[in-house]
A and B are shown apart, each in its own frame.
Chain A
Amino acid sequence: MTADPQQPETLPSGPPPVLALSGAAVEYRRHGQRIRALDGVDLTVARGEIVGLVGESGCGKSTLARAAAGLVPLAAGTAAFEGQPVSVLGRGRRPDRLRGLQMVFQDPYESLNPRRKVGDLIADGVLLAGGSRSSARARSTELLERVGLPVTAAEGFPHEFSGGQRQRIAIARTLAAGPSCLIADEPISALDASAQAQVANLLTALVREENIGLLLVSHDLSVVRQVADRVAVMYLGRIVESGDTATVWSNPVHPYTEALVAAIPRADGSGTLPADLPGDVPDPASPPSGCRFHPRCPVARDDCAVTAQQLVAITEREGGGREVACHVRAPLGVPA
């Protein structure tokens, strides 16, 4: 699915994106069937920008994150980091040119080696980049302070810290490698409320101050809405809508995005029940023909079952470019 060439999706004038996926597809086999967890996705992340990736279970957002990081191979399309292709992590060492692309994992309890000291874990990033031991130790201290932990934490082991602190240690570890782009796969889902806000704020601050690009994958729509500059909504392996976060939320175009937004219960005491989206997410092994959302779509027409829609750029009154993949709401060739 490619963007309309006459109306490019990237920001009008700006540096080239630090992370770019084009037509990315990922397949896996289950019971002998070939399943496309990711079916032709275009996505870019620029430095200093936070791109949120949202969607419900089975939409492929985690697969996309892992493919962008080089943890799973692409069946089609390309993934590029700073213009260079992202090679898959195999037996050998990861190429140095990819060091600037780092990942923050979901489970803070599993992503830190329980048998090594926190200071050593953070120093790894410097040592593996060829730094000396002394510079690694110094940087380790510096980074601990940067993420809001005391210097004495370097002597501790991961299990002595809370979930939020561990996630911050994990972030410090990626910073030690001097990244220009971070991919965060559900970084705050496993944390409690206060820790969620703290880690989200830390990531935001880092993006602004270090001019890092951040791809934030989350099922928590509210947090993404608060924190991300742009958001891409996924459904069953495809991006159905993307654009500036505030406007996508206040004015969703794609029926699925509309349903998502309407399904969030508001804590306003009014007692209103959130809107329901009937039906279930189809089995990715046999997705619906044409537009994958059409069986559950309130505005579906006959032709929705025939051809899949491409992401079409629509003009907006304000904010960056918006793209929507919907026959009905954003037909090809007709500006919305």
Chain B
Amino acid sequence: MSGDPVVTAASSAPPAGLADDVLARRRRRLRVPPAWRQPLAVTGLAIVGAWLVIAIFAPLIGPDNPLAQNFGILAAPSSAHWFGTDELGRDVLSRVLAGARVTLPLSVLLVVIAMLIGALLGGFAGFLGGWADVALMRLADLFFAFPGIILALAVAAALGPQLRNAVIAVVAVSWPSYARLVRSLVLAARTAPYVVASRMLGASGWRVLFTDIRPNIAGPVLVLAALDLGNAVLLLSGLSFLGLGAQPPTAEWGAMVAEGTQNFNDWWVGVFPGLAILTVVLAFNFIGDALRDALDPRTARTVRLS
């Protein structure tokens, strides 16, 4: 709106008043924004933080070697084995802790890769337009046509049952969302006056994309990534559950849940890894929601565009 008098000091001469006012406002803004003070966000952060610590220190925290099969088979939870033992006599607690070292880093890695691939492709499509845009978007549409898990299954099965291939499969399923989001953001930014002004000064297309446009679209993309983390964990665990991801004897939650279905009466074999998946996914979702609210309403608008 015209005449938005954000600064009260006279603006014809350069007085100290303006500097103070601007800096004071910046200081106020550095306080934690309200969205982050939500209990859910804090809970999410706490849970993820705890799992991070576990993942880093798992070998030290876990009472036993996750692969050691020394203990009684299918023993119920007791003081010796808090989470009991599985059908091969391995300590479930140690395996759940070790699972964090598999799931967490891989999920994050996978989301980052998908984001980079999708953002780059989407960015070029949006900026170049023309046939590049058409080709890339039809490719994304192709991937979108399949339900996520089915496509992931197909890719993982084609590549062979290995954890690495499961990661590739989930990346293949995830990248189109980023591509579509970034494309629409770049399309909108391309005609913005600040971009035109940059080009008038002689900026090349690349420079405009990376220096001018990127800072403006990073927000919504990061929100999408945060919300996607939970999904990544589920897909990865799901593939392992179906036998296409982590192979025995690797301690991975999805695979452990699969074991649990074989031993239904011994509930502890499947429930604890299942709870681990549940808490991590919930935590990522809480964080993603808080991030989206913090960037609202711009994010809500742009995410819907994709």
Contacts and interface: CB of A to CB of B under 8 A. Distances in A.
Physical contact A–B (CB less than 8 Å): yes
Interface of A: 69, 71, 89, 91-94, 96, 99, 102-103, 105, 107, 110-116, 124-125, 128-129, 145, 148-153, 155-156, 160-165, 170, 173-174, 176-177, 190-192, 195, 198
A161 to B, nearest CB: 6
B142 interface: no
B222 interface: no
B25 interface: yes
Given A99-B201, A113-B212, A128-B201, A150 B193 contact: no
Contacts of A190: 2
B19 interface: yes
Nearest to B194: A113
A301 to B, nearest CB: 44
Contact of A170 (B7, B23, B192, B197): B197
A105 B200 CA distance: 11
Given A94-B199, A191-B3, A115 B204 contact: no
Contact of A162 (B11, B19, B196): B11
A92 B14 contact: no
B203 interface: yes
B43 interface: no
Given A150-B14, A152-B18, 16 more contacts: A89-B199, A94-B202, A103-B200, A110-B192, A112-B194, A114-B216, A115-B215, A128-B203, A153-B19, A160-B26, A161-B7, A162-B7, A174-B201, A177-B201, A192-B2, A198-B11
Contacts of B4: 162-163
B215 A113 contact: yes
A163 B3 contact: yes
Given A145-B14, A162-B7, A103 B2 contact: no
Contacts of A174: 201
B6 A160 contact: yes
Contact of A116 (B11, B128, B196, B212): B212
A149 to B, nearest CB: 6
Nearest to B207: A128
Contacts of B11: 148-149, 162, 164-165, 195, 198
A150 B22 CA distance: 11
B302 to A, nearest CB: 14
Interface of B: 2-7, 11-16, 18-19, 22-23, 25-26, 128, 192-194, 196-205, 207, 211-212, 215-216
A71 B14 contact: no
Q: Which 10 A-B pairs have the closest CB atoms?
A: A192-B3, A115-B215, A152-B19, A150-B14, A111-B193, A113-B194, A128-B202, A93-B204, A110-B193, A105-B193
Nearest to B214: A115
A116 B194 CA distance: 11
B3 A195 contact: yes
A125 B5 CA distance: 28
Nearest to A170: B197
A160 B3 contact: no
A163 B196 CA distance: 19
Contacts of B14: 145, 148-151
17 contacts: A94-B202, A96-B202, A103-B197, A107-B193, A110-B194, A111-B197, A112-B197, A113-B194, A113-B212, A113-B215, A114-B194, A128-B201, A128-B202, A150-B15, A162-B5, A173-B201, A198-B12
Contacts of B22: 152-153, 155-156, 160-161
Contact of B6 (A145, A151, A161): A161
A119 to B, nearest CB: 12
Most B CB atoms within 10 A — which of A113, A174, A177? A113
B215 A116 contact: yes
A42 to B, nearest CB: 24
B3 A153 contact: no
Given A151-B14, A152-B18, A160-B22, A191 B200 contact: no
A105 B197 contact: yes
B18 A173 contact: no
A170 B200 CA distance: 12
A148 B193 contact: no
A162 B6 contact: yes
Contacts of A113: 194, 198, 212, 215-216
B22 to A, nearest CB: 5
A277 B5 CA distance: 36
Given A152-B19, A152-B23, A92 B204 contact: yes
Contacts of A173: 197, 201
Nearest to B128: A91
B18 A149 contact: yes
Contacts of B198: 113, 124
B200 A92 contact: no
Nearest to B213: A113
